Structures are given as C-alpha cells and as structure tokens.
Amino acid sequence: MTRRAVIGLCLALTLAACGSQAAPEPTAPTASIVASNAVSAAVTAERLGPVLADPRPPQPAMAVRYQAALVADHCVDRDLVAPAATDPTLIVLDRTYALPAGYVPPDLVPAAGAGLEGTSGDKLVRSIAVDDLAAMRAAWEVAGLTIALESGYRSFASQAATFDSWVARLGYAAGLLRTARPGHSEHQLGTAIDVISPGWSGRIGDWAAETGEGAWMAAHAWEYGFVMSYPTESTTDTCFGYESWHYRWIGREAAAAHRDSGLTLRRFLERYATG
C-alpha cells in the first residue's frame, strides 16, 4: 500500500469515528435560570395588571342552512312573520319581516349585570349577551374610553312611540330610513344596543369617525360578539340608513364569521334562515 493510500485510509477511519459519536444531550436549565424566568414572568404580570376574565358564555348555534325562502324585495314595507332560524339570536328582521307584537325575550336583565352604571345599567338586555357585554365594557375601561348605553331592549309599544317621534320630526319617508316600524326593530330582540360617548351630539354626525369610542367599537366590537347592523352605504341591503351607534349581539363565533364574510349583517343572517 502506498503512502498516499495509507493516509487516505487513516483519514476515512477518523471521520467515521467522529460521525459515530452521539451528540451531547441538552442540559437541563439550572436553578438560577428557572428562578430568573419566574421573576420575569411575575414582573410582566405586574406590569400588565389583572387579566380580564373571558367566561365564554354559550354561543348561538352556527349550523348554516342555505335556503332560498326569503323574499327578494325585503325593503318593501310589509309585516310578514320573521322566518325561524337555527337560533333566535340569528333571526332576520328588516322592513318586510317582523316579530309579533307580543314577543318579549324570556331572559331580559338589567345591563347593570355587565358592570354598567347609572342609566346605562337600567337598560334591559338578554342575559345570554351579558357576559360578552361585560367583557367589552372592561375593554373600554382598559382603553380609557367612556361609553354608555342609550338603548337596549324596546317593546313593540315602545318602538311604536320611537317611530312616531321620528316621523313627526322628519316625515314618513325619512322616518322609515331612520328607525324601524314596530315589530321590525332589532331592539325588540333584546340583543341590540345603541351606544354613545360624552360630548357626542347623537344621530347627526358619524360617531365611528368623529370619536375615539365610536372608532373603537367599529374596530373591536365584533371580538365580543357585537356587529354594526347598519354600516355606511348599505341601505340597499339593510333597508335602513347608516347607524354607527347601533350594534347587535350575535355571539363571538358568528361575529367572527360575519366579519370574514364581508357581508352586511342582513345578508349574513339570511344564510341561517330555515324558511
């Protein structure tokens, strides 16, 4: 064997021996590292403050049923019975479809249960929405915002008085765009709220564009299950004018699906109608 061959053989044996050695096992973190990490976590928690509770209340059923049973001209003023839905929370209301005059949600409670105070706490909402409303109220406080409930549940009779007052102010045609006829209002469901903030004139300007509170609601309300029912430039779908202050609770999962759909709430809810 030549000298060059001998050198090559030795080199090959050396490389093989090196490759056969097991990689060293990672060492466990020392006690000082563990203690340091614990201190860091405690400091972070102290800076963040108490974590807000997210109780995850029961959510509306999301079984989609694509039915073509709803009328196409739904912005015509009629009083058809609102079609049944996979969950009453997802029921369609518009200028055509309405609730019975005697309909009252079975679980109305004061909004004070969500931590709202003063006249806001006196407004009635369905108990199934209270936990999410409470979480949203807590988020307002963390963000340094002051938001109040101007309206919650309205009975058929109360909505009739509201509608008549707007008609008296604006005339019948304009009143129809501004507010719903009795039976056609989402407020009768007990899951719709009107929200305001200090210094906002109300019903005149664009709350979502003119105030920090309105902008926060437009950006984050869906995270807590609340959806703007009548967004800007949506009258052909919603049958009503833009209402930046009006939100309806449909549950967090449904609100996230609604956001992803890009549809108005009226068109989104139409997917859940059983006909």
pLDDT tens-digit map of 224-236? 999 999 999 999 9
Lowest mean pLDDT among 21-25, 54-58, 96-100, 145-149: 21-25
The 3-state DSSP class for residue 248 equals: strand
Say whether pLDDT at 111 is over 90: yes
Question: What confidence tier does 64 reach under pLDDT thresholds 50, 70, 90?
Answer: low
Name the residue with higher pLDDT: 47 or 197. Answer: 197
**Percent share of the chain, pLDDT over 90:** 65
Say whether pLDDT at 42 is over 80: no
The pLDDT value recorded for residue 39 is 36
Cβ(135)–Cβ(116) under 8 Å?
no
Name the residue with higher pLDDT: 68 or 40. Answer: 68
Average pLDDT of the segment spanning 246-265: 95
Round to whole Å and give the CA distance between 140 and 5: 80
Cβ(252)–Cβ(225) under 8 Å?
yes
Round to whole Å and give the CA distance between 100 and 221: 29
Q: What's the CATH code of the domain at 188?
A: 3.30.1380.10
119-159 confidence digits (pLDDT tens): 999 999 999 999 999 999 999 999 999 999 999 999 999 99
Cα–Cα distance list, 84 to 24, 91, 187, 240, 269 (Å): 66, 7, 18, 22, 11
Strand partners, 51: none
Cβ(94)–Cβ(73) under 8 Å?
no
Pairing between strand 148-151 and 124-126? unpaired
- The count of structural domains within the chain is 1
Give the tokens for residue 126: 């369905």
Say whether pLDDT at 52 is over 80: no
SS (H, E, C) 199-218: CCCCCCCCHHHHCHHHHHHH
159-214 confidence digits (pLDDT tens): 999 999 999 999 999 999 889 999 999 999 999 999 999 888 665 679 999 999 99
Work out the burial of residue 61: count CB atoms within 10 Å of its CB; fewer than 13 is exposed, 13-18 middle, 19 or more buried. middle
Question: What confidence tier does 271 reach under pLDDT thresholds 50, 70, 90?
Answer: confident
Q: How far is CA 238 from the centre of its chain?
A: 18
Q: Is residue 5 part of a domain?
A: no
The pLDDT value recorded for residue 33 is 35
Q: Is residue 64 part of a domain?
A: no
Q: Is residue 60 part of a domain?
A: no
Average pLDDT of the segment spanning 246-271: 94
Question: What confidence tier does 223 reach under pLDDT thresholds 50, 70, 90?
Answer: very high
Q: Is residue 158 part of a domain?
A: yes
The pLDDT value recorded for residue 121 is 98
Q: Is residue 11 part of a domain?
A: no
Q: Is residue 65 part of a domain?
A: no
Round to whole Å and give the CA distance between 164 and 51: 46
Range of the domain at 255: 80-270
Residues in the chain: 275
Pairing between strand 148-151 and 97-98? unpaired
Q: Is residue 100 part of a domain?
A: yes
CA atoms within 13 A on the CB side of 258: 27
